[in-house]
Structure 1
Amino acid sequence: DWTARLFAQVIEPLRRGETAHPTPYDWRTRRFGPPRPLPPAPVVLVEGVGAGRSALRPHLAGLFWMDLPPEQAWARGRA
């Protein structure tokens, strides 16, 4: 499940001050890609449709909504 993956791969390592290694989903190949290093930083942005789900809110300092034209949103999601 997406929330469990986010906690295990990103939130928990960063909380410990460690580099996180998320495996982003590749929408073109429809599978998870290789891990990418994500070093601890004062601000980390988590984007995606599920980034604001209620299970994550206690761990978020803020929540932002981006409203884009459909074609631009589709291009960003496929990048």
Structure 2
Amino acid sequence: MINNVTLAGRITKEPELRYTQQNKAVASFTLAVNRAFKNANGEREADFINCVIWGKSAENLANWTHKGQL
């Protein structure tokens, strides 16, 4: 069974695309996801999640997304 997670947030910096020795594309990026609730001071906080994506999806992400996009 494969775990499946859906996150909605903004990319914090340009995705880093690289290739393995077997010529497989891999991209790394960080996603800033706002929490659904406020802290004790009444402010919203965000979680920064490190993500890795492989294959054609990695190439598409690196070519078509930029810093700050949802």
In terms of fraction of residues, the more strand-rich structure is 2
Larger Rg: 2
TM-score (norm 1): 0.33
In terms of fraction of residues, the more helix-rich structure is 1
